[in-house]
Amino acid sequence: MNDEHRTPGDWDAIVIGSGMGGLTCAGYLAVTGHRVLVLEQAGVVGGNSHVFRRRSAYEFDAGVHYIGDCGPDGVLPSILRGLALEDRVTFRAMDPDGFDEVVLPGLRMLVPTGWDRYLDRLTGVLPQDKEGLREFVEVCSSVGAEMRWALLSAAGAEPAEMMRRTATMMAWGRRSLHHLFEHCALSADARTALAAQALNYGIGPEEATVGMHASVMDHYLRGAAYPVGGGQMLSASLVEAITGHGGTVRVRQRVERVLVEDGRVYGVLLDSGEELRAPVVVSNADYPRTVLELVGEEHFAPPIVKRARTAVMGHPLVVLYVGLDRELPGTGPNVWWHGGPVEDAFRELADGRFDSPQSVFISFASAKDPDTAAIRPPGHANFQVMALCPRPLDAWGAAAADPDGEGYRRDPAYLAEKERVTEAMLATAERALGPFRSHITHLELATPATQRRYTRSTGGSPFGLARWGGTGARPDTRTGVKGLYVVGQSTRYGSGITGAAVSGIACAGQITDRPLLPEVHGGAVLGDPRLLPERGAGWDPLHACGGRAPRGGSR
């Protein structure tokens, strides 16, 4: 840790929140010799990587649906390997000939690995757009590759080399995806096929930048995979790295305030009244909440406060969790279904309309991890139907719209809207998959209020910032307060599980003044496998993260 951070305290660093960003940062601080404490306000560690169980039969992922770039030199595998976790998390590769299925009216396409094969599939189903698709893919594949190079290899690069190696990113990275669609003169069907997986980052083509879209697509086109045992395997393994190297992880510990004096943090105040001291505080809360609620705007420069007040988050989600007493033959692990042009669907969301979802993502855990018995009983199906919804939560009732609302789950207005949306989601899912209602054994809807309750995210969005000042702008993990850092999906490192993990290792690198990500991507292993705890018979990743229900038990 830099000498500027070395002051007396209970801990060297306190991490608020246990999402992938917070756990990854804490893991790298722990393996580099720092006393680190992770505080999680919920009862289970993991943030959007946690799972929950129902009916002693089904295990559902909250946010891990699939992960890209999981080959030998992949980003997330490298981060885990650097913590000596390579043998503790196994990624099961999804079909390289079609890990995603895109379905539009009159068009069906399997998305393969590799930009060249992806372009071949696109031009095969959209021959009238061949030239525009070729230019679009050329731009996005170049931007994706350049962004990955900059992330992994640019430490110490000369400015001239940086400019030479990232020319396409400089030209296109911060323009809107809609701008690139227009430039390539693409049809509505081509635009919808290209932006079909926009739910991976939670905003539409007019808000998403080319850089955001390209980096996400490049991530998956390098090969999609799913962690064997479910998303909780990621957070459970990171907890083992933290605690094995002397750190501490606590659940049901809500931070009320980050303590600041003379422009420097000195600890946190819990809602119990307990004060904990540390010269470094890392917030895994989103950026607006960190600035306006946890720290206080009086400690930031006016431009930062203005950005926090006017920030726009990604769209929130509704998620329908479904268990069936049979499999659905012929259905791939991921289906992206669109009933019409994707840009029209996002304009409806911007106008606050959500009568019936016109675009859904359907993800089958039972197809991606068929050998993990906890996911579903033999012969059953376990899947999720996900749709973006308007940002204002007013439609869910006053209690749900209130950021401090606690009693929304019993509010009649909330229950009525939840019932209406459940029926609308079912109707759309059956349009995509065919009839299945008579086989339902479990049905449960999670709303933006659910997301906010478990992760305390602004607006109930799981995607982080959509707008922070100018187009494409996102903050780094450093802040204007000495010793205060922010990690997670609101930072410039991107969305999703891998983006959040990258923010965590980048933050730890800034705190320790080391290029940690290039180090571990180059093969360095900083963790000591001998310090990791044994996994005995019946080891349960959810139990290891604070969850009380054993596999096969109720929650």
Angle made by CA atoms 538, 542, 547, in degrees to the nearest 5: 115
- Measured CA to CA, the distance from residue 187 to residue 184 in angstroms comes to 9
Q: Per-residue pLDDT for 511 more than 60?
A: yes
The pLDDT assigned to 154 comes to: 64
Average pLDDT, stretch 444-457? 94
Closest to 517 (Cα-Cα) out of 240, 232, 148 = 148
The pLDDT assigned to 281 comes to: 98
pLDDT tens track for 415-449: 999 999 999 999 999 999 999 999 999 999 999 99
Provide the 10 A C-beta neighbour count for residue 164: 10
- Measured CA to CA, the distance from residue 487 to residue 54 in angstroms comes to 31
Q: Per-residue pLDDT for 547 more than 90?
A: no
pLDDT tens track for 377-404: 999 999 999 999 999 999 999 999 988 7
Which residue intervals of 32-129 are DSSP H helices? Answer: 75-82, 115-125
Residue type, 442: H
Find out whether 202 and 463 touch, Cβ atoms under 8 Å: yes
Q: Per-residue pLDDT for 184 more than 60?
A: yes
Close Cβ partners of 264 (under 8 Å, ≥ 6 residues apart) = 279, 481, 482, 483
Q: Per-residue pLDDT for 8 more than 70?
A: no
The pLDDT assigned to 552 comes to: 36
Find out whether 14 and 37 touch, Cβ atoms under 8 Å: yes
Which residues make beta-bridge pairs with 133? none
Where do the structural domains in the chain lie, given as residue ranges? 3-54+65-91+229-311+466-544, 116-222, 315-458
The pLDDT assigned to 555 comes to: 23
The pLDDT assigned to 161 comes to: 85
The pLDDT assigned to 226 comes to: 96
Find out whether 399 and 405 touch, Cβ atoms under 8 Å: yes
The pLDDT assigned to 7 comes to: 46
For a pLDDT cut of 90, what percent of the chain falls above it? 88
Torsion on CA atoms 272, 259, 290, 263, rounded to nearest 10: 180
pLDDT tens track for 458-497: 999 999 999 998 777 889 999 999 999 999 999 999 889 9
The pLDDT assigned to 157 comes to: 75
The pLDDT assigned to 554 comes to: 27
Q: Per-residue pLDDT for 5 more than 50?
A: no
Write the CATH number of the domain with boundaries 3-54+65-91+229-311+466-544. 3.50.50.60
CA distances from 449 to 20, 418, 453, 469, 519 (A): 21, 11, 6, 26, 40
Average pLDDT, stretch 318-345? 94
Largest CA distance in the chain: 67
Q: Per-residue pLDDT for 156 more than 90?
A: no
Q: Per-residue pLDDT for 10 more than 80?
A: yes
- CB burial of 269-294 (b: ≥16 within 10 Å; e: otherwise) equals ebeeeeebebbbbbbbbbbbbbbbbb
pLDDT tens track for 205-259: 999 999 999 999 999 999 999 999 999 999 999 999 999 999 999 999 999 999 9
Closest to 140 (Cα-Cα) out of 211, 38, 79 = 211
The pLDDT assigned to 4 comes to: 46
CA 444 to chain centre: 21
For the chain, the average pLDDT equals 93
The pLDDT assigned to 2 comes to: 44
Q: Per-residue pLDDT for 410 more than 50?
A: yes
pLDDT tens track for 84-139: 999 999 999 999 999 999 999 999 999 999 999 999 999 999 999 999 999 999 99
Find out whether 237 and 222 touch, Cβ atoms under 8 Å: no
Find out whether 432 and 334 touch, Cβ atoms under 8 Å: no
The pLDDT assigned to 9 comes to: 67
Average pLDDT, stretch 404-418? 89
